[in-house]
Amino acid sequence: MRADPTLATGQRAMPTVQRAMLAGATFLLVMVTTSALGTLIEGSGWWWLCAFIAACLVSVGLGLRALRTPPALVPLLQVGALILLLTLVFGGRSSFALIVPTGETFARFAELFAGAERTIQQQSVPAISVPPLLFALAVGVGAIVIVADALVQDARRPALAAIPVLVPIFIPGFLIEDGAEVIVLLFAGAAFLLLLRLDVRVRRRADLAHRDDDEDAPVVHAPRRVPIGSTIGATLGVGVAGLVAAAVLTASTPSISQSLLLGSDQSTTLFSRGVSPFIDLGRDLRRPDAVPAFTYTARDGDRPYFTLLTLDRFEGEVWGVTDRAVDSENTVDRMPRPIGLDPAVETAEHPVEVTVGDLRTVWLPVPYPTASVEDLRGSWFWDRESLTVRSVDASTAGQRYVANRLVATPTADQLRDADLLGSGQFQEYRALPDERPQIIRDTALAIAGGAQTPYDAAVAIQDHLRSSDFSYSVDAPVEEGYDGGGFDVIANFLEVKSGYCVHFASTMAVLAREVGIPSRISIGYTAGSPTDERVENVTVVEVDSHDLHAWPELFFPGVGWVPFEPTPGRGTVPSYTRPDAAQSPLSPFGPSTSTPQTGRPDLDPERGLSAGPGASAPDPVAAWTRVAALVIAALAIALAPALIRIGQRWSRRRRVRHGPGRAQAAWDEVRATARDLSAGGLETETPRAFAAHIAERPAFDGDAGAFLAELRNAVERERYGPPAPSGAAAGGEAGLSTDEILRAMHEVRAALGADAGASARLRARFLPASLIGRARGRARPTPAGA
């Protein structure tokens, strides 16, 4: 019987067909596990892009190996191929010949990376596959393919390929309650088993193809029954690495819908579910210094309000946004007519050119309603109910765009003719909890009980709140302990009769619902103040944090959502609510352009308004924390095999010192070191056969050979010799003392390392092959009485 040369001479060179089989199995495994992200991302186009990237990289690796490229260069060349593919797909005009990247291309990649971080933070599940998200997916899948391909083809450690492919499997479990779909897990397991099975077949075929023709003895493979304990280290390493990677990636890039309304791009949200926006808006209004938000020019002389966010759900204590998924088809190049606006009503588009400064939010300030928005950077989408515009991968900072405002011209009589009191339309915008303070019912009845129409009731509520009985104050609600917009706050506000815009807006919206008028609240900015600057003879209007505002909108059939202004000293009273508005055309979607009240401190001394939306800048500590988390995750994954191997070595040294089987423990470590360094040797070889094979290496010509022989003899005596007499000194059954065994093990391992090349030593340190082999020694029988 002759020794199987597979390990003795290193890995066999595989035919291209066999490599193609492994490459196909690797591609299948990566794509099946990547499909686990399908529960998080809308559509399937992203998966086909990832499949294209993965197929190209696998093919590149297959071709390079067919050309006998040194294994260490293949992953590097695949990285270069990934850059070319990213250039082809995402580089656009910045590339040369569509595939060669330039400096501008890498700048584009940096923008996409930044956008990817924002879209992961800003989107909720399922996310829209916007370009930055696609870029991140392509890079991630490319990295997984390169690592898995190297482990399968070059390191010939297909079991370790589970480390990178586990990441997309685990991520859904940290973001949604159900985690990855069961069918995906089943197919992933089947794909992994297929890869392992193909690797076994390829190894056997390589053995048969390299038999020595001049020897007639067959190759004999001993049965490989792996005890449970033998693979615990590798299994735990793979599982822990995958869990650490998924957990850290999830923590560092949370997929939580964030509003960033007031300029913070950190993880805290202003309008997340269950949090009152009014508390945060009030805090912002009480900041002492104003900060510029944006400027605009309107050639038609428009002075509109700018809406950021619309609150339409009232649950008694909290006003919030109805949770509606972003629709990828709702792009801002063309927006629909507002709900409720009769097609017979004459409309016109007025362009408003906006230049944003430090305002940093995912909600775009636009007049309501807007017909289209031009020249935006990033991916922006409108909501069908509110026509608010938000991004999933960008912010408003530094944006320059044109909002084409839709101006309608109905009359006050048309508003009076809009009878809602007997209809069931828009019930969700009339909804109020059953239990509410009696003062709200009484106030609504006293103000609007005698109104002839919903319009008259709305005007009466606005006039009541703007009367001299009420005063504007940002401090009174805090001092009196009723800040916010819930029922109890409104009840206190109606008694104290002092508050700021959020109290007036919330109170009017609730009173309107009390009398049957659908209502909601918009948050954004008033019209701002003109400056001395002019652009092409058009006055530049500046909007800053002093213009931050909340106002109610009421629904009237045929006209749609109509803004009102119940807050005294703020903005402008809409023209259609004035006594002389009976027959005059009006613009219900923005305040009148005449004598706007800005609410600035010099005109309204009681206002101690905000540092505003632009004041918050990205937190460098949070950014570096995220980077550090990613670095730690990468290091944990890269070092996991090495750390497990160190623990194994420490355990064997402990066995040498404390027994039993001291020489066997040292011999196991020598055999593991030889396998890590690809020094050869079969698991079926006896210690003498293995030592004879190892002793042929140049490093064992001197003292190292003698130490190898001593350790070999000690193992044979320990295995086959008589048991040591009771009370014998440590190491007596092996013929060597503990220190002598440790020194022999150290010298033999040092000689094996000296005889190996630098790349082999590096691979042995970070990808130790012995981790996935059989834990020899623990399964060997010991002599009776030992």
Q: How many CA atoms lie within 13 A of 31 on its CB side?
A: 20
Low-confidence ranges of the chain (pLDDT < 70): 1-14, 118-126, 173-180, 204-289, 315-318, 323, 409-410, 419-425, 477-486, 579-631, 633-634, 681-683, 723-734, 772-786
CATH topology of domain 277-615: C8orf32 fold (3.10.620)
In 695-737, which residue ranges form alpha helices assigned H by DSSP? 703-720
- The pLDDT value given to residue 693: 81
Using the CB atoms, write b or e for 728-765: b if 16+ within 10 Å.
Answer: eebbbbbbbebebbbbbbebbbebbbebbeeebeebbb
User: 472: which strand partners?
Assistant: 499
Identify the pLDDT of residue 121.
60
Query: Facing residues of 597 across strands?
Result: 571
Query: Which residues are 347's β-sheet partners?
Result: 408
Q: How confident is the model at residue 351, as a pLDDT?
A: 92
Predicted pLDDT at 298: 87
Count other Cβ atoms within 10 Å, centred on residue 480: 16
The pLDDT score that the predictor gives to residue 682 is 65
Amino acid 216: pLDDT: 47
pLDDT score at 630: 64
Angle among Cα 71, 240, 158 to the nearest 5 degrees reads 30
Please give the model's pTM, rounded to 2 decimal places. 0.53
The pLDDT tens digits of the residues spanning 328-383 come to 788 888 888 888 888 777 788 899 999 998 788 888 999 998 999 999 988 898 88
Contacts of 509 (CB under 8 A, 6+ apart): 314, 319, 519, 520, 521, 552
In this structure, what DSSP letter does residue 545 have? G
Which uninterrupted H or E stretch holds 314?
Answer: strand 313-314
Smallest CA-to-CA distance from 750 within 739, 741, 761 is with: 761
C-alpha 410: how far from its chain's center?
46
d(CA 399, CA 14): 56
- The domain locations on the chain are 16-215, 277-615, 634-772
State pLDDT tens for residues 69-78.
888 888 899 9
| E strand spans, 417-458 | none
Write the pLDDT tens digit of every residue in 637-673.
Answer: 777 888 888 888 888 888 888 877 888 888 888 888 8
